[in-house]
Structure 1
Amino acid sequence: MLTLTSSIVQILASRLTTYQQSGLLRQLKIAGSLVDFCSNDYLGFARSFALKKAIQQAYTNHSSALTGATGSRLLAGQTALADELEHNLATFYRTESALIFNSGYDANLGLLACLPKVGDTLLTDELIHASMIDGARLSYATRHRFRHNDLVDLEEKLKQATQNRQDGQIFVGVESVYSMDGDMAPLEKLVDLCDEYGAGLLVDEAHATGVYGPNGEGLVVALGLQERVLARVHTFGKALGVHGAAIVGPTILRDYLINFARSFVYTTALPPHSLLAIHCAHEQLQTDSQARAHLYERLDYFRQQVSERLSGSSWTDSPSPIQCLLVPGNDQARKVASEAQQVGLDVRAILSPTVPVGQERLRLCLHAFNTTDEIDLLITILQSALSLKNSN
């Protein structure tokens, strides 16, 4: 058995101690039985008995399916089931083709790492998800960030990129609904700018999938922009309650990713059970209109209560189920979250450096299954905690 040398152990321990002393040490905590105000299970699909039963039945019906994929899609992992699912996903998301990835992280990593090449320019919103940031870091393109949702700043960088490029291409990366603020990208104006400067728009739809669009197809489809966006990333581990992701767009993009996206080429594929789960979740999304209706009702009720009872507090400008209360300071944010947890509400603090110093917050997620009584209790606890904080 290999053992780490004492010097390496000491270095790791020292780094962790420094992190702990700074109040930044992360630990794994089981969610338990608290009322959920923190997960991304917006529609309650992850706890849906109907979806669970449908997945079990689908797996039973595919009695010949293996328990594992046994290899990458380019080797033993390619199946008729995967092909059929991707065809159905392309139809659902109103585009030419889809390519399944093992997670949204893998999808963003592969897309941004392989699409912009040497000589290209990649412009990304400063608040994109870590998976997009990591993909951008692996790219050999020239990279610049633009101020969050700032079209003037983006256009200035597009002008510079246009002037400086020779044969290179320009790509712009954004989220449709931002995971830490809950606000939305100005997609209609973004596609106009990208069209004007000949840039390809890449949109991470992780927190819009299942929530927006006629049947949950995302914000791009809700706005009728699917023909003007080069690539969309849809993840299935949030509102759809299962796992995996897909990049959707033109067929030529799919062919390119199969050849150059390393997070697709060099990983074991999703097993048949996961593919069937994705299929069943999309079927339920199209038949269960009540879940989204309930989500919108709860969101409207929450925002009304905030307006009436917490009007003096600081919130991000979010129309989405992600509602963020700014509580500056890691200790203060933790304290308010702890008070909510003590009365049975699963509320989590988002601390720096995950968010900038001074913008620490409670990231509250509304769900179709939250009750008005639970929301009332949450508002009361926040009132009490903020009043106590302001009096100190």
Structure 2
Amino acid sequence: MKDFPKKLQDKLDERRTNNALRLLKSPNNLIDFSSNDYLGFSKKNIIFKNAHQFLKDHNITQNGATGSRLLSGNHKLYYEVEQQLCEFHHSPSAVIFNSGYDANIGFFSSVPQRGDIILYDEYIHASIRDGISMSHAKGYKFKHNDVAALEKKCEHERHRNSKETNIYIVTESVFSMDGDTPHLEKIAQVSKQHNAFLVVDEAHATGVFGKKGVGLIQHLNLEDAIFARIITFGKALGCHGATILGSDILKQYLINFSRSFIYTTALPPHSLATIYTAYQELKHSTAIGKLHENIRYFKAEIVTHKLEHLFIESHSAIQCCIISGNANVKSISKNLQHHGFNVKPILSPTVPSGQERLRFCLHSYNSKKEISEVLKLLATFVTS
């Protein structure tokens, strides 16, 4: 075997020097303040049992999809699950992708065309950035959650481009690294004013906000203002996959031109059954209410322990404590884990240098005692 390329080894060495080398670690039994399983659905026994029963009721004993959806993998369950998604999310159509990453690179690499403009929040998810980099359109970022900055960029691009230029505005309803939310109503107004196409990633809002966890777009009655919504199932729904919601013609376009849809083996029937069952559970779950109780309690305890100056303002399940420096934030994370709390550090370059943080993910199953104890420990470590 040849030696490993020196250029690649140098990049790994640089990560080690910056205390930023990523490693895969084994699962642990620590108290969960790190996973995206906000409602505990990933471990919910009734969802597992009902998914199995759903397959039995449909007389399905198939393990794999056998091919892409355009070849042999378009199982009959796809129609049933996509119809369920349309009804639940008030959308004309839904097309299921294998993951949120696949959905985002599939959309942004195929929908915006050469000569089009993509205006995206500077904190947008890496999967969207990757999709934009694969597009023939030009992408420009705007300052995080700054509607005035977005409006200026829209005016600038409309002034210097032809009428045939399409502008796509891209944001998230809850940002994964900050847990905060943009002013979606104002962004929708800017989009309408400049005849732009608004795209919103709802990965961390679905199952958390709105009646029955429909997400922030429906909670704010903005469905008709959105060109496309990206919904992922790997967070609050506790399973796998994603969907893009939009018009019937958008679905037809994606089926024909989205390469991450066309050239991949489809999800197996069991994944579809789990998605269907998780949505059924979401309709009557009490976990959403419990999650929001815990969010309110966590925020109150931040004030109790005089930590509010370190935390980014957020009303979501993601609460972030800024601790500058990879070494510093890793040290405090390690101390919390040593005391039994699984709180993960977010390091640069994932976030900008100086904005390193502890990312607390809250869940319906966290107890108030756990929340109080972890923040009491945090207060001790940041002041010591």
- Fold in common (TM above 0.5): yes
CA distance in 1, matches of 2:60, 2:221: 40
Say which is worse superposed, 336-345 or 56-65, in terms of deviation: 56-65
The match for 2:199 is 202
CA distance in 2, matches of 1:188, 1:31: 40
Give TM-score, length-normalised by structure 2: 0.98
1:92 to 2:88 alignment: yes
Letter in 1 for 2:276: H
The match for 1:303 is 299
Give the alignment partner of residue 162 of structure 1, picking from 153, 158, 169.
158
CA distance in 2, matches of 1:86, 1:64: 18
The match for 1:12 is 8
CA distance in 1, matches of 2:14, 2:129: 25
CA distance in 2, matches of 1:253, 1:246: 12
Letter in 1 for 2:128: M
Q: What pairs up with 1:179-328 in 2 under 5 angstroms? A: 179-288=176-285, 290-311=286-307, 313-328=309-324
- Deviation per CA, 1:21-47, whole angstroms, max 9, x where unpaired? 221110001231000001111111111
The structural deviation recorded for 1:312 is: 5.4
The match for 2:18 is 22
The match for 1:348 is 344
The structural deviation recorded for 1:9 is: 4.5
- Deviation per CA, 1:90-136, whole angstroms, max 9, x where unpaired? 11110100000000010011111111101111100000000000001
Asked if the contact 1:31–1:346 (Cα under 8 Å) also holds between the matched residues in 2, the reply is no
Say which is worse superposed, 160-169 or 254-263, in terms of deviation: 160-169
- Deviation per CA, 1:208-229, whole angstroms, max 9, x where unpaired? 0111111111110010000110
The structural deviation recorded for 1:49 is: 1.3
RMSD, aligned CA: 1.1
CA distance in 2, matches of 1:310, 1:52: 42
* Amino-acid identity (%): 44
Q: Secondary structure at the match of 1:282?
A: helix
Say which is worse superposed, 177-186 or 76-85, in terms of deviation: 76-85
Q: Secondary structure at the match of 1:215?
A: helix
CA distance in 1, matches of 2:8, 2:95: 39
**Structure 1 residues not aligned, in runs of 5+:** none
The match for 2:98 is 102
Asked if the contact 2:38–2:317 (Cα under 8 Å) also holds between the matched residues in 1, the reply is yes
Asked if the contact 2:239–2:275 (Cα under 8 Å) also holds between the matched residues in 1, the reply is yes
CA distance in 2, matches of 1:144, 1:118: 14
The structural deviation recorded for 1:64 is: 3.1
1:339 to 2:321 alignment: no
CA distance in 1, matches of 2:10, 2:351: 24
Q: What pairs up with 1:36-185 in 2 under 5 angstroms? A: 36-166=32-162, 167-185=164-182
The structural deviation recorded for 1:387 is: 1.3
The match for 2:361 is 365
Q: Secondary structure at the match of 2:333?
A: helix
CA distance in 1, matches of 2:59, 2:188: 45
Pair 369,312 (structure 1): closer, same or farther in 2 beyond 3 Å: closer
Say which is worse superposed, 231-240 or 58-67, in terms of deviation: 58-67
Asked if the contact 2:18–2:326 (Cα under 8 Å) also holds between the matched residues in 1, the reply is no
The structural deviation recorded for 1:165 is: 2.1
CA distance in 2, matches of 1:380, 1:31: 25
